Amino acid sequence: MGKLIVHQEKAQDIAALIKICPFGAMENKNGRIEINAACRLCKLCVKRGKGVFEFVESENFSGVDKSAWRGIAVYVDHVNGKIHPVTYELIGKARELAAKINQPVYAVFLGENISQKAQEILHYGVDKVYTCDKKELRAFNIENYAIAFENFIEKIKPAVVLVGATPVGRQLAPRVAAHFHTGLTADCTILDIHENTDLVQIRPAFGGNIMAEILTPNHRPQMATVRYKIMDAPKRSEEIFGSIEQLELDSAKFTSKVEVLSVIKKPREIGIENADILVVAGRGVKKKEDLKLVRELAEVLNGDYACTRPLVECGWLEPKRQIGLSGRTVRPKLIITCGVSGSVQFVAGMEHSEQIFAINSDPKASIFKVANYAVVGDLYEIVPKLIEKIKRGRGIA
């Protein structure tokens, strides 16, 4: 917390100083350096500006009483009581974090007729499941769900709240975070915790090949969302641990005027998320017709095919085949990338795949940093031969 000060008298080569800023946030106004609204306070200019720029910390915030906020809470993501598996993955992470600070793990389950289903969560090692079982929570309505969620946070005061980055979690979490005027970090890929219960949140940032470590040091609860298939779910144990407690909430509190008219099943799609084997096309594929190489390799391996963002943007494949932060997260047993450079956005969506083969002719491609097998070569030479060999091995050629 603080602000940037420019010591104009020390500035000599203004043009050179302006160039330091990667966001173009400095301007030369009649021989004075002015910082405009593009400034992200990355403090790069402080590091490299030879004393011209100074970052002045504001006096410390009074802050919150961190000892009043205890435990790691996980939001139980579900539709009609059917629990989304990201919930168990988050419980696994929550247990790990809670063990470090010796605090409890909570699950918060909001819905209608869910009390029985809450029993299932006790097989995964939480200390307590808090339920709010109300007819107003039958179908997802952001206002009513937020009210019930806020009721939980006000009563239990958890230090950390983890929410799955599902279509529901991604709207509910910000609504609740804004209510408490607290921080929320989206799509964390790594989570850790300090002894003082400050949550270490790591995610790709600035839309590029950069990771940022983020803290919420003066606010509670600390909130973060995590995508499906990023963390590891614990094994379901036969015995149950912990207990279930019903949270009271007066029905009059549910004031939403939004009406849910119907909930229908989406037509069943076999998505790339569920594939065990994936072959991925990147920008190294030169023409739309050449996608057949990728499709055919997927076919002979009995797998599915996917692609990177640029291929969706130029209309070669549908968005549902896109891997990455703005597409789908996948965790197949085998993934073969063909001509994929490997932006952070893409890698975040597939780095947990079990075996990664990356084919790219550029030996410096960043995809090779996550690949188990970095194959430096031309996909147009390798893939057709590979398809032949697999066909021959299977006796289909």
Partner 1 sequence: MKILVCIKQVPSTNKVEVDPATGILKRNSAEAKMNPYDLFALETGLRLREKYGGNLSVLTMGPPQAAAILYEAFAMGADRGALITDRKFGGSDVLATSYTLSQGIGKFGRFDIIICGLQTTDGDTAQVGPEVSEMLGIPCVCNVRAIDKVESNHIIVDMEMSEDIEKLKVPFPCLITVQKDIYEPRLPSYKKQKATANREISRYSLNDMGDKNEKHYGLDGSPTNVQRIFPPSSDKVQEKWTGSGEDLSERIYEALKKMKFTA
Using CB under 8 A as the binding rule, the residues of this chain from 319 to 348 that contact partner 1 are 319, 325-326, 333-334, 336, 343-345, 347
Interaction between residue 259 and partner 1 (CB under 8 A): yes
- Closest CB to partner 1 among 16 and 212? 212
Please identify which residue in 46, 101, 139, 240 interacts with partner 1, judged by CB under 8 A: 139
Q: Which stretch binds partner 1 (CB under 8 A): 10-18, 235-243, 246-254, 353-361?
A: 353-361
Q: Please choose, from the candidates 132, 156, 124, 390, the residue with its C-alpha nearest in 3D space to the C-alpha of residue 279.
A: 390
Q: How far apart are alpha carbons 94 and 92 in whole angstroms?
A: 5
- Of 151, 161, 181, 143, the residue nearest 225 (C-alpha): 161
Stretch that binds partner 1, among 10-18, 119-127, 129-137, 261-269 (CB under 8 A): 261-269
- Specify burial of residue 297 (Cβ count, 10 A radius: 0-12, 13-18, 19+): buried
376 binds partner 1 (CB under 8 A): yes
245 binds partner 1 (CB under 8 A): no
Question: What is d(CA 172, CA 145) in angstroms, rounded to the nearest whole number?
Answer: 7
Burial of 50 (0-12, 13-18, 19+ CB in 10 A): middle
**35 versus 291: smaller Cβ distance to partner 1:** 35
The answer to the question of residue 178 lying near partner 1 (CB under 8 A) is yes
Q: Which of residues 80-109 bind partner 1 (CB under 8 A)?
A: 84
d(CA 372, CA 352): 11
Nearer to partner 1, 122 or 159 (CB): 159
Q: Does 72 bind partner 1 (CB under 8 A)?
A: no
CB of 239 to partner 1, least distance (A): 30
383 binds partner 1 (CB under 8 A): yes
Taking CB under 8 A as the criterion, the residue among 49, 111, 204, 349 binding partner 1 is 204
List of residues 6+ apart from 388 with CB closer than 8 A = 397
Both ends of the chain: CA-CA distance in Å? Answer: 66
Give the interface segment with partner 1, choosing from 98-106, 129-137, 212-220, 237-245 (CB under 8 A): 212-220
Segment near partner 1 (CB under 8 A); pick from 154-162, 214-222, 237-245, 280-288: 214-222
> Which of 229, 247, 210 lies closest to 349 in space, CA to CA?
229
Residue 228 CB, shortest distance to partner 1, in Å, is 9
Query: What does each C-alpha distance from 361 to 294, 323, 366, 374 come to in angstroms?
Result: 16, 21, 12, 10
Nearer to partner 1 among residue 100 and residue 369 (C-beta): 369
User: In the complex, what is the shortest distance from the CB of residue 104 to partner 1, in angstroms, rounded to a whole number?
Assistant: 24
Query: What residues numbered 275-314 form the site for partner 1, per CB under 8 A?
Result: 277, 300-301, 313
Nearer to partner 1, 122 or 347 (CB): 347
Cβ-proximal residues to 116 (8 Å cutoff; 6+ apart), any chain: none
User: Token pair of 368, please?
Assistant: 């090779």
- Taking CB under 8 A as the criterion, the residue among 87, 103, 131, 185 binding partner 1 is 185
Contact region with partner 1 (CB under 8 A), list: 32-40, 88-96, 124-132, 246-254 = 32-40
What is the smallest separation between the CB atom of 110 and partner 1, expressed in angstroms?
15
Q: Are strands 128-133 and 243-246 parallel, antiparallel or unpaired?
A: parallel
Among 2, 236, 245, 246, binds partner 1 (CB under 8 A): 2
Cis peptide leading into residue 363 (ω within 30°): no
Q: How far is the CB of 229 from partner 1 (least distance, A)?
A: 13
Q: Hunting for tokens 């509670």 — which residue is that?
A: 220
Is 381 a binder of partner 1 (CB under 8 A)?
Answer: yes
Q: Which are the contacts of 369, defined by CB distance < 8 A and separation ≥ 6?
A: 342, 347
